[in-house]
Each structure stands twice: as C-alpha cells, then as structure tokens.
C-alpha cells in the first residue's frame, strides 16, 4: 500500500502545466510555457517573440495565435484547454498594465 501511495505521489508531481485537465492560474501557465521566449514580464522577445506589454491584439486575435501558433511560436491547442488559453489571455492584460505603472 505504501508503495502505491509513493508511486501516485511521484506521478502527480510529474504532471506538467500543459495538461488540459489541470487547473493553474494564467500566470502559472504563462510562466511555464510562454516565458521562455516572451520573458516573465512579456518583454524578452527571444526568437522574434513579440513584446506582450505593448500588444494591441484583441482577445480573439490572441486566442487564434496561441491556439494555432504563428511564425516560430507553436500551436498550444493540443496542450492547453480553451479555458487555459483564455486564462493566459487574461494574464496578458496584467502584463499590459505594467507599462502603465
């Protein structure tokens, strides 16, 4: 029984943020999957990534790009649920507020 519990605990700790059935905040999803190129504050611009603090894209445009990818950015629709993509888009609004501070 102890071995089963340990195995389950190890398995759960290995769950990635890009699993559709997991609940994470938009910030957590962004930092795990997007910050590599966009930076934690959205300004890194690695591999041609856009400065997200200065983005003027609509929610629909952001959704299409995140879901389907664009340029070197991969598609996330197979790794993130619609809700998770929307959470990331909501977090982008938080990043945009940083330019106003």
Q: Is the pLDDT confidence value at 42 over 70? A: yes
- Of 2-6, 12-16, 45-49, the range with the lowest mean pLDDT is 12-16
Strand-pairing partners, residue 86, are: none
What is the rounded distance in angstroms from the CA atom of residue 11 to the CA atom of residue 14?
5
Residue 12, pLDDT score: 37
**Which residue from 22, 20, 16, 40 is spatially nearest to 30, judged by alpha carbons?**
40
**Which residue from 76, 71, 98, 99 is spatially nearest to 87, judged by alpha carbons?**
76
**Which DSSP string do the residues of 11-76 spell out, in sequence order?**
HHHT--TT-TT----HHHHHHHHTHHHH-TTS---GGG---GGG----HHHHHHHHHH-BTTBPP-
Q: Is the pLDDT confidence value at 4 over 50? A: no
Burial class of residue 27 (count of CB atoms within 10 Å of its CB; 0-12, 13-18, 19+): middle
Residue 20, pLDDT score: 57
pLDDT digits (tens, 9 = 90+) for 45-98: 999 999 999 999 999 999 999 999 999 999 999 999 999 999 999 999 999 988
């Amino acid at each position: 029984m102890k071995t089963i519990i340990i195995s389950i605990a190890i398995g759960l700790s290995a769950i990635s943020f890009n699993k559709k059935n997991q609940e994470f905040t938009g910030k957590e999803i962004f930092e795990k999957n997007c910050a590599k190129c966009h930076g934690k504050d959205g300004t890194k611009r690695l591999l041609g990534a856009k400065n997200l603090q200065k983005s003027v894209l609509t929610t629909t445009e952001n959704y299409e790009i995140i879901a389907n990818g664009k340029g070197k950015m991969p598609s996330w629709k197979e790794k993130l649920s619609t809700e998770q993509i929307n959470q990331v888009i909501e977090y982008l609004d938080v990043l945009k507020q940083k330019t106003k501070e």
